[in-house]
Structure 1
Amino acid sequence: MATVLSVNVNKIAVLRNSRGGTEPDVVQAASACLDAGAHGITVHPRPDARHVRAEDVYALSVLTRSRGVEFNLEGNPFAPPRAGYPGFAALCAETRPAQATLVPDSDAQITSDHGFDFMGDLGSLRERIAELRELGCRVSLFVDAGCPVIERAADVGAQRIELYTGPYAEAFARGDCADAVAACAETARRAQAAGLGVNAGHDLSEANLPTFLRGVPDVLEVSIGHALIGDALYRGLDATVKRYLEAIAHGG
């Protein structure tokens, strides 16, 4: 199965929020990405509404459903509701994303920087996953390469993992990524042996995608936002999405 591209449009909302108002329009940007050939749209709403907000999630769910593409909603299932943020489970219940990617982030983090460690009592995580699957969501868990107990992701009911590729991207930029690729590949194989599908995301770019996909077997989906939106400032969304799709093809 070919790797699919889900574009994270959080950064469009960051630009909009820096000025207030409605421009640039998150839904229009997502639509442009889909027109260019992207296979889905990802957003990671934060409780502090620093970028995409609940109303964006609702609007993007309508767009993706009308286009027949995947909507991937990321978030911390344990973050409590607050004004303007109904909670991750509530957003999933209202929008029914095709995929819910659970991330153990906190408000203090600028961006997601680690995965679940699967140590200790996982009862609460198992309950959250069961609730999301009952809604019809495929559940993916954000994990670190080299996680020693990756099989426990399957034990708690997840159907996929998303490899945190930040360390790989840093190693690629230094020119010594062989060990990072090997760690991702080994984790992917163990996850697949446990019956889990493998996604990947964080700091993946047009430059480092082919090497990653050549080294890591059977990656089903990559979720890319920061680098892709940055590149689009120079090239435009249409050309950039097409170049990322070419990079994925070169890694296949």
Structure 2
Amino acid sequence: MTYCLGMLLEQGLIMIADTRTNAGVDNISSYKKLHILEHSEDRTIIACTAGNLSVTQATFALLREGLEEDDDSDGPRFVKDMANMHRVAGLVGEALHMAREDITETAGDDAQYSFSGSMLLGGRIKGRPLRLFHIYKEGNFIACQPDRPFMQIGETKYGKPILDRALEYDTPLDDAVKTGLVSFDSTMRSNLSVGRPLDIVVLPADETQPMLSQRIDETDHYFNMLSSKWALALAEARAAIPMPPFMLKDSAE
């Protein structure tokens, strides 16, 4: 299992992914799930992946080699050549669909595993606005909108409530990163299959500002402090709320 989060805000794009791929009593492994597909003067393209590793690895291999030409191209199609983010999402979705179909066909009817994968794809082409897409296993995709400025894949349910309550399109980037980390902390508290290290990329809307990347491991002081303070704040907030009136002794009289 995994958890990946993308937040498309007025001030920029934030993408966070965990690295855990296997979790058991004596078998915990990790694999990088946040990938920079392209980072040049012309464009920055970032992908977070969830699902079967063989499918997502095959997808990236296809993108590196270039997809076969179509009616509008003179040769293989690459992420670096797409005119806008919508076309990038279409190309990545096509590669994901092809990889999934090829691996499923090779495995045959006796396959014991689900060959599925999905992605969050974010970034921008120079001079154009930031975009964020959720690409489904079939290769189709939807775009993130300001009225719901985040997208999730993987183990989403535990980290969603804080995002629903606290995240708005105009939330400042530093506050949004903090909210995103609380979302991951809540998820890791409830599901062992999501865990550190966490990879973070922040891409400001201002093109003159550099991209920021960070890895948060088990020894990260800030995350450990955030986790303990959030638990304390929840306990204090619960204690501050009045008791249900029907539970009070006088209410029965």
TM-score by length of 1: 0.29
State the structure with bigger RCO (CA 8 A, min sep 6), 1 or 2. 2
Looking at secondary structure, tell me which structure has more helix per residue.
Answer: 1
Looking at secondary structure, tell me which structure has more strand per residue.
Answer: 2
